[in-house]
Structure 1
Amino acid sequence: MNSKRWIALIVAVVLLVFSLGFRMATSVVTADFEEMFNFQQDNKFQESVIEEGNGNNQIAVLNLEGVIQDTASNSVLDSGGYNHQRFLEMLEEAGQDRTVNGIILRVNTPGGGVVESAEIHDKIVEIHEEYEKPVYISMGNTAASGGYYVAAPAEKIVAHEATLTGSIGVIMESFNFAEFADEHGIDFNTIKSGEYKDIMSASREMTDEERDILQSMIDDMYGDFVQVIVDGRDMPEEEVRELSDGRVYTGSQAQENGLVDDLGTMDDTIAMMKEDYDLGNARVIEYQQGFEVNQWLGGAVQNLFGSESDVTGIKDLLRESNAPRAMYLYTK
């Protein structure tokens, strides 16, 4: 092992020990203070005040940023990013909080996983039905595919005129190196238990039967997407299918097509909710995930050993891309 790797190993161990010690100390201190003062947090998340007002009459803003995928690391060296489970918890917290009378999601995402998008969608529906709270959507630069899927059940969707939205549909992709491997004398050895176990394999061409199997899956998921819009936007299925050919729309075009209710900014969306629900004196708060020591440590390690981290990330991307994973995702 060369000196560079020894140094990397020592730094990683030191960071690991620091993280574990920090967590233990935090747990002890928190436990002691709760026991001594019988103190309990009313909210799991840090809050910042966007607009002052009545603290018992609040509008909560949640930010949905990045690709919607449940890939948040539970390791000590977590570099941060979109955390799916954390976001679902934030939605649940906003729904349960009796001081929150309205929720605005700031959506800026090209979409993501089918399951993850459906989980957010279902949570929004649950908030409507169980807590009877309005959920508005404020679209950022991009709110496409899965980003529109999660927006569909909201009571009001507001986009900027230049927002890219739509991209309604499902996509499944993989790499295929069969021709390249054949030209360079590369052999693949595959041992499988069933005919379709290596479907979408990178080492051979896809068969017509395999393509039909995957297409039927995509068609089912596409049908679910269409139904979500039919239910959420109260639009005829035929009209939704005409709009759902995978293309993206600007915010202005989406409004003309009935996919968006109004055009405006985040501030406009807040003003609309206040007017629609007589919340003129409401305090507007923003949920924040807060400081995570794991994210700080992960970022530090990436700064120290960025090249090796990049290679690992590329390997993971190639491995995941080769799997038959359906996505509500806008790809350029």
Structure 2
Amino acid sequence: MATTADDLIDRRRLRRKLTFWRVAALLVAAIAIVGTTMALYGTEFAGKSVNHIAKVRIEGTILEDEALLTLLDDISKAPTVKGVILSIDSPGGTTAGGEAIFDAVRALAATKPVVAQVGTLAASAGYMIASATDHIVARKTSIVGSIGVLAQFPNFTGLMDKVGITLDQVKSSPLKAEPSPFNPTTDEERAMLRSMIMDSYDWFVGLVADRRPLTRPQVLALADGSVFTGRQALDKKLVDGLGGEKEAIAWLSSKGVSGTLEVIEWKPKDDESSWLFSRATAQAVGQLIGLPGAGGEFLRESGGDRLFLDGLVSVWHP
């Protein structure tokens, strides 16, 4: 009996020790994660607590990005943000996505001076967003323009004939679910699409005429889908100046924003909220296995995201 009692006491002591070390290990892991997160983002968080210029990157294919829209709204409400630089490098994207971001930028510009800094490319919906700012700066060799709207769809009828596939369907009306990739496009279907495209095109042209020092006839002369270098765009009044971030800051200074303020990049919350599951971490893992990115980032970097665009698009190269 004495031996059994001693064994029970020893087991209880062992359990207590194991519990202690398990809790200690969890605390150490938590401290390590918090420390790493603070090291990664602490400086940025501290910087946002003082007056600064916010920088937002708008890159790749334009979609109706809720995280970006929320970010722009947060910046408009941040009292420490004195000016905003939109760094744009995009071939365009969905027309509805460009419209949503355009409206968000205009709302932001009502509270703070906003300037667009064009990198390699600001075409179609990318230029639409740039025109929402009150000043556009582009590099001499940037690509700017491609004002227009399009809709594209594949035609699989030749392939279906070769493999012996036919499509049976019952529709409420001839134009329902048309045009379809599974049958030739009719004149009525093309007319329906053209009516939609021209209505959106008319809206796009009016938007540029309203935002730029150009008359509507002048915009129409430029809105044939053409793209221009930064130098050509300046001559055609599609941009306001040549240069990069330095020139963008100089314009903000002319609007009363101190040129000595630090420029701090703001990122959507899905990039900042979780170190373990952030997009940056996913990219790092993807690079370790030999990919240029991971998940959605790999699609974006390879241009594959454009394969899934739906609806009317304003994009330079679909």
TM over 0.5: yes
Query: What is the aligned-residue RMSD (CA, Å)?
Result: 3.2
Cα distance in 1 for residues equivalent to 2:228 and 2:307: 32
Report the TM-score when normalising by structure 2.
Answer: 0.74
**1:108 and 2:89 aligned:** yes
1:18-44 superposed Cα distances (whole Å, 9 cap, x missing partner): xxxxxxx9xxx9xxx9xxxxxxxxxxx
The answer to whether the Cα contact below 8 Å between 2:47 and 2:264 also exists between their aligned partners in 1 is no
The answer to whether the Cα contact below 8 Å between 2:147 and 2:204 also exists between their aligned partners in 1 is yes
1:162-204 superposed Cα distances (whole Å, 9 cap, x missing partner): 1111000001101001122223322123333332122121111
Cα distance in 2 for residues equivalent to 1:318 and 1:268: 32
SS in 2 for 1:187: coil
**1:99 and 2:99 aligned:** no
SS in 1 for 2:148: coil
Residue of structure 1 in register with 2:60 after alignment: 66
Residue of structure 2 in register with 1:216 after alignment: 195
Cα distance in 1 for residues equivalent to 2:132 and 2:48: 28
Match 1:282 to one of 261, 264, 288: 261
Q: Which has the higher contact order (CA 8 A, sep 6+)?
A: 1
Cα distance in 2 for residues equivalent to 1:299 and 1:193: 51
Distance apart, 1:278 and its partner CA: 4.5
Residue of structure 2 in register with 1:169 after alignment: 148
Task: Report the identity percentage.
Answer: 31
Query: Unpaired runs of 5+ in structure 1?
Result: 1-24, 34-45, 71-83
Report the TM-score when normalising by structure 1.
Answer: 0.71
Distance apart, 1:285 and its partner CA: 1.1
> 1:298/1:159 Cα in 2 relative to 1: closer, same or farther (>3 Å)?
closer
The amino acid of 1:62's aligned partner reads: V
The amino acid of 1:252's aligned partner reads: R
- State the structure with more CA Rg: 2
Cα distance in 1 for residues equivalent to 2:94 and 2:255: 33
The amino acid of 1:121's aligned partner reads: F
SS in 2 for 1:88: helix
**1:89 and 2:83 aligned:** no
1:275-296 superposed Cα distances (whole Å, 9 cap, x missing partner): 4424133222111333460644
Match 2:214 to one of 235, 240, 262: 235
The amino acid of 1:293's aligned partner reads: F
Residue of structure 1 in register with 2:237 after alignment: 258
Residue of structure 1 in register with 2:315 after alignment: 329
1:278-331 superposed Cα distances (whole Å, 9 cap, x missing partner): 41332221113334606446985898799xx89xx79x979846x5x1001111
Matched residue pairs, number? 266
Residues 1-332 of structure 1 correspond to what in structure 2 (within 5 A)? Answer: 56-70=50-64, 84-129=65-110, 131=111, 133-288=112-267, 289-290=271-272, 291=275, 293=277, 295=279, 296=281, 320=308, 325-331=311-317
Distance apart, 1:54 and its partner CA: 10
> 1:292/1:54 Cα in 2 relative to 1: closer, same or farther (>3 Å)?
closer
Cα distance in 2 for residues equivalent to 1:135 and 1:108: 16
